[in-house]
């Protein structure tokens, strides 16, 4: 299954044919275990790129196209800004602006990302939009928190932002900065294409006004097979569905392949939230799986706002199993949708999270070989145990 999702399907980025092949495969598989399925469709853009060329007077600089950037050819003088104050003071209209240092220390949240967006990021983006540079060059290092293991990381990854951008290493950026004031020529070969994708929601069990909801995001970042992030989450949903083939309890079970956790505007997440407006109270517990099954270390579970009966049901299901530990709270995945809507949540990942994030996540190294399938089976068994326990709790 992981092989199919990560290798036979070359990419699961939102809007791609591979992404739709993955949601089709998921819908067919989960239906074969007796679940009713619904596809929740949304419009989005897909994006293709053939690289960028950046030169000053014949001297080439190694630059990567910012994901979802518009393409185009520009020849303009270079200006440089490394702090917010410098950016505010820079006359950038029609020029190529190099952002480095403090300004480029962390990935900027996309303009229309609905769940989290710091004021400083909004300020930088709005300054860039009002100053109207012809193009942006970002010189970056690493940002494990937002960009996983990428070096350099793209400062801007936003299909709603219309200034073309490239990014390069801080080292290459310092070399380029020496040419401030000179003419730079930049050719970005990239295109946005209108496309679509969907969530797949699968349901079973009796009472829809009392639901257990299980999430995993099915999309993967551009340029990664996405085995741990998050092919394993989808395999876990399917293993759980298979273990529930004969389930006929009162508690409603909703298994959701969300589509967009690693995409700039989180379209599947926004759609699922809007379709559940006013019905969050029905959710007894929300479970999210992301980054589970890494062959090193243990499975880590973490609890958010769980009432005592659910808290103890989770501990009973998980603590008895080997290789499972309670991990630190984290918020960078879809369980935040439950937390933001005041529902109890359980998140499942791997405890060697730091190693995963700083070395593997969002890169070509995230392949099926780094997954331990036995850990996935254990998690699925623990989840079934938990679900059957919750089904027996008095309402
Ligand atoms: Zn993920």
pLDDT score for 394: 82
Ligand 1 centre and the CA of 284: distance in Å?
23
Ligand 1 centre and the CA of 208: distance in Å?
28
State how far the Cα of 8 lies from the Cα of 199, in Å rounded to an integer: 21
DSSP code of 66? P
Residues of the chain with pLDDT under 70: none
Ligand 1 centre and the CA of 291: distance in Å?
6
State how far the Cα of 44 lies from the Cα of 29, in Å rounded to an integer: 25
The DSSP annotation for 150-165 comes to -SS--S---TT--S-E
Quote the radius of gyration of the chain (alpha carbons, Å): 22
pLDDT tens digits, residue range 291-306?
999 999 999 999 999 9
Evaluate whether 63 touches 166 at the Cβ level (below 8 Å).
Answer: yes
Dihedrals φ, ψ of 123, to 5°? -65, -45
Ligand 1 centre and the CA of 367: distance in Å?
14
State how far the Cα of 145 lies from the Cα of 241, in Å rounded to an integer: 32
Ligand 1 centre and the CA of 273: distance in Å?
18
pLDDT tens digits, residue range 94-149?
999 999 999 999 999 999 888 889 999 999 999 999 999 999 999 999 988 777 88
pLDDT score for 22: 98
Number of H helices, E strands in the chain: 12, 14
Ligand 1 centre and the CA of 139: distance in Å?
25
pLDDT score for 354: 75
* 0.85 exceeded by pTM: yes
Ligand 1 centre and the CA of 230: distance in Å?
5
Ligand 1 centre and the CA of 361: distance in Å?
8
- Report every protein residue that has its C-beta within 5 angstroms of ion ligand 1: 229-230, 290
Ligand 1 centre and the CA of 217: distance in Å?
7
């Amino acid at each position: 299954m992981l092989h199919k999702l990560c290798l036979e399907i070359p990419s699961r980025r939102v809007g791609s044919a591979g992404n739709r092949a993955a949601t089709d495969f998921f819908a067919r598989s989960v239906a074969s275990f007796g679940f009713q399925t619904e596809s929740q469709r949304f419009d989005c853009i897909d994006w293709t790129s053939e690289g960028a060329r950046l030169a000053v007077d014949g001297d080439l600089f190694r630059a990567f196209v910012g994901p979802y950037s518009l393409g185009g050819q520009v020849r303009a003088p270079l200006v440089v800004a490394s702090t917010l104050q410098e950016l505010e003071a820079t006359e950038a209209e029609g020029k190529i602006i190099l952002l480095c240092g403090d300004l480029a220390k962390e990935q900027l949240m996309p303009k229309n990302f609905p769940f989290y967006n710091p004021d400083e990021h909004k300020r930088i983006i709005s300054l860039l939009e009002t100053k109207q540079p012809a193009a942006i060059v970002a010189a970056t290092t690493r940002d494990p928190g937002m960009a996983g293991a990428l070096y350099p990381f793209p400062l801007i990854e936003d299909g709603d932002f219309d200034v073309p951008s490239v990014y390069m290493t801080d080292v290459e950026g310092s070399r380029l900065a020496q040419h401030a004031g000179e003419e730079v020529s930049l050719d970005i070969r990239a295109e946005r294409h209108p496309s679509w994708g969907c969530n797949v929601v699968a349901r079973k069990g009796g009472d829809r006004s009392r639901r257990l909801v299980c999430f995993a995001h099915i999309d993967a970042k551009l340029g990664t097979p996405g085995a741990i992030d998050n092919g394993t989450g989808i395999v876990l949903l399917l293993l759980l569905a298979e273990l529930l083939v004969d389930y006929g309890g009162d508690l409603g079970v909703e298994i959701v392949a969300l589509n967009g956790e690693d995409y700039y505007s989180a379209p599947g997440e926004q759609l699922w939230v809007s379709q559940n407006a006013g019905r969050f109270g029905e959710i007894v517990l929300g479970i999210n799986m992301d980054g589970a099954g890494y062959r090193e270390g243990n499975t880590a579970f973490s609890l958010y706002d769980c009432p005592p009966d659910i808290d103890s049901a989770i501990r009973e299901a998980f603590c008895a199993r080997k290789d499972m530990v309670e991990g630190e709270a984290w918020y960078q995945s879809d369980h935040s949708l439950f937390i933001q809507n005041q529902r109890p949540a359980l998140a499942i990942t791997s405890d060697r999270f730091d190693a995963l994030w700083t070395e593997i996540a969002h890169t070509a190294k995230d392949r099926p070989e780094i997954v331990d399938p036995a850990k996935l089976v254990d998690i699925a068994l623990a989840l079934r145990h938990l679900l059957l326990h919750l089904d027996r709790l008095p309402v």
